Amino acid sequence: MSSSEPSLFGSNPDHVRRPPFETDDLRSNLQRFLDSPFEGDPSGARPPVGNYRWGVYAFFDYDGEPIYVGQTNEQLRTRIRRHLTNQRTDAVAMSVLDPFEVFEIEVWPLPQFQTVSAKDKVSAQPAKAHLDGLERLITAQAIANSRFKAILNEKDPPPGALQVEAPPSFRDRIVSPRVHELRAHPDFRIARRALIISRLAQVISERQVKGGLRRVLLTQAKRLQWLAGRRYEATGGAASVPTEAEPEDEE
């Protein structure tokens, strides 16, 4: 860039106050998702989907694979943002969940419990039982729909006998076309997934962990093998491997 061309950062890039592009893009698209009107409210109102206090959510990767299921009784907006922007959850801190892999989110709000406070232990018991039942249902569906028959949750849903039906949901992408172009390349995804596996393995090696983290590590290893294998076959497979007599020029 010549000295006459304007800089994206002004005269000094150290003075920029905005976060990097991909971080800023994620926050903007996540805000748009959480502010989307929810059409499934039985009252006929269309409140922002992120404003529901009780609900279950699921994250999906760039292949449409379900990768994580969770629940909240504090607000969908607060809980999902904590996962993907604040990185203040154990799942992110221990490299169980990689925010860079989340392409779509689906949420199942529970409008009937909107006025119930989780702090009121007595009145919240039916709501919590219903929430747990819904998480068990969505988790079972996610595992059944996964080609690996597994997701990346470190813990299983709370046990219980209550069976519920899935309420209306809302699903949308949180990745812009520009970020999708950057992240969807299979080699980028392979490298990113290998990095996350390395971080998770490091966490496991430094702590006395339970079986949940080891299960996540195994699932991530299977997901990496599948992605790397798909990429290998798509680029020629065995026919693309040179012999020792052939030059090894890069593609």
What distance in Å separates the CA atoms of residue 141 and residue 132, rounded to the nearest whole number? 14
Task: Specify the range with the lowest mean pLDDT, choosing from 3-7, 42-46, 159-163.
Answer: 3-7
Helical residues (DSSP H) of the chain, grouped into ranges: 21-34, 76-81, 90-93, 121-145, 177-183, 186-206, 211-234
Residues 187-239: tens digit of each pLDDT: 999 999 999 999 999 999 998 888 999 999 999 999 999 999 999 999 999 99
How distant is the alpha carbon of residue 110 from its chain centre? 21
**Where does the pLDDT of residue 2 fall: very low under 50, low under 70, confident under 90, or very high at 90 and above?**
very low
- The partner residues of 66 in beta bridges, in order of sequence, read 60
Residue 73: what pLDDT?
Answer: 95
Average pLDDT of 143-158?
96
Which of 22-26, 35-39, 163-167 is least confident? 22-26
Beta carbons of 179 and 115 less than 8 angstroms apart: no
Question: What pLDDT sits at residue 94?
Answer: 73
Provide the pLDDT for residue 170: 98
Using the predicted structure, report yes or no on whether residue 107 has a pLDDT greater than 60.
yes
User: Which residues share a beta bridge with 69?
Assistant: 58
Confidence (pLDDT) at 69: 97
Alpha helix ranges (H) inside 146-249: 177-183, 186-206, 211-234
Burial of 110: CB neighbours in 10 Å, binned 0-12, 13-18, 19+:
buried
Residue 230: HSE in the Cβ half-sphere, 13 Å Cα cutoff: 12
Exposed e or buried b for every residue in 29-41, given b needs 16+ CB within 10 A?
bbeebbeeebeeb
Task: Express each pLDDT in 66-84 by its tens digit.
Answer: 999 999 999 999 999 988 8
Residue 134's nearest CA partner among 190, 188, 55 is 55
The predicted pLDDT at position 188 comes to 94
| Of the candidate ranges 55-69, 81-95, 108-122, 127-141, the one whose mean pLDDT is the lowest | 81-95
